[in-house]
Amino acid sequence: MSGEESVILVTGGSGLVGKAIEWVVENDKSERFGKRPGEKWVFLTSKDGDLRKPDEAKAIFEKYKPTHVIHLAAMVGGLFKNMKYKLDFLRENLLINDNVLEFSKQYEVKKVVSCLSTCIFPDKTSYPIDETMVHNGPPHESNFGYAHGKRLIDIQNRAYHEQYGCNFTSVIPTNVFGPHDNYSLEDSHVLPGLTHKCYLAKKNGTPFVVGGTGKPLRQFIYSRDLAKLFIWTLREYQEIDPIILSVGEKDEVSIKDVADAIVKAVDFQGEYSFDTSRADGQYKKTASNEKLMKYLPDFEFTPFDQAVKESVEWFVENYETCRK
């Protein structure tokens, strides 16, 4: 991205990942990740327009005339929300993605970076999973609506590139957590959901109950680390094919490890238990970050326990106003 005026539109700018990108743009002083002269960053919320609706989506592009787009806006949620609303996840995200990509083409946006997820990979697969395996078989039953909607972004990117020469690419983050997450007790992802549950258990002297067996394995990326990688992808990554943005295979942890880290960060003194009547979801989705490491061999991820501590501290400080 040259120094001339760039208008970078971040759809979903008020969410977990969007707020992390805003934080990095405003606070990182490095040339690689911080805001650069001539850049205007626009962080959208759904109040700026419902991206499921073509007229509202077009009005946003007409108003801002972006040169670049980081496309985050989506219906998002954890395992239990995905199991309940499979059609909504599919249809809402298809509508949003079609509008954002089509108006990016119509308004001649120079580059779009959209967002897939490591949970959309085939359920029956070899490990570690890499970027070439996105379409190699059906996703896990628990979130097939969300997964197919996300997979289509990769198909759309390739079709826009082949037919119109559009520079549309995507990233594949693993599970993300950090400040400004959604802390809903039922619909959130595991880390914010357990943070909220553990906080209430400590506050009310009630049991802290973790869903499932605690055995499934996950890789977690701190939102502020992911934000830096998004900015790098926008500025320097030149492929149409997606790139996995994740910590390494060796950093994979169990859900019990997550619960233990949250108990430590919340300073919960009681015992906690597992409600094995609740689903475990995918047992594992171990992803390789080899492609990313070839591009950024020196990138340093925030240590998991430190990131959990910062996230829990943010939640406690913002309990009254955060999404829950």
Please name which of 42, 167, 37 lies closest in space to residue 109, comparing C-alpha atoms: 167
Which position among 193, 198, 227, 307 is part of the footprint of ligand GFB (CB under 6 A)? 193
**DSSP class per residue in 224-247:** HHHHHHHHHHHHH---SS-EEE--
The rounded distance, in Å, linking the Cα atoms of 104 and 100 is: 6
* For ligand NAP, the closer CB: 12 or 268: 12
Q: Does 216 bind ligand GFB (CB under 6 A)?
A: yes
Please name which of 204, 202, 178 lies closest in space to residue 191, comparing C-alpha atoms: 178
**296: exposed, middle or buried (Cβ count in 10 Å: 0-12, 13-18, 19+):** middle
| End-to-end CA separation in angstroms for the chain | 37
- Residues forming contacts to ligand NAP in the complex (CB under 6 A) are 12-18, 45-47, 50-52, 72-76, 96, 115, 117, 173, 175-176, 182, 189
The rounded distance, in Å, linking the Cα atoms of 50 and 7 is: 20
Residues binding ligand GFB: number (CB under 6 A): 27
Which position among 14, 67, 93, 143 is part of the footprint of ligand GFB (CB under 6 A)? 143
* For ligand NAP, the closer CB: 16 or 201: 16
Which position among 36, 58, 91, 278 is part of the footprint of ligand GFB (CB under 6 A)? 278
Which position among 117, 156, 170, 219 is part of the footprint of ligand GFB (CB under 6 A)? 117
Q: Does 315 bind ligand GFB (CB under 6 A)?
A: no
Q: Cβ(223)–Cβ(20) under 8 Å?
A: yes
Residues that bind ligand GFB (CB under 6 A): 78-80, 82, 117, 119, 142-143, 146, 175, 188-190, 193-194, 197, 210-212, 216, 218, 255, 278-282
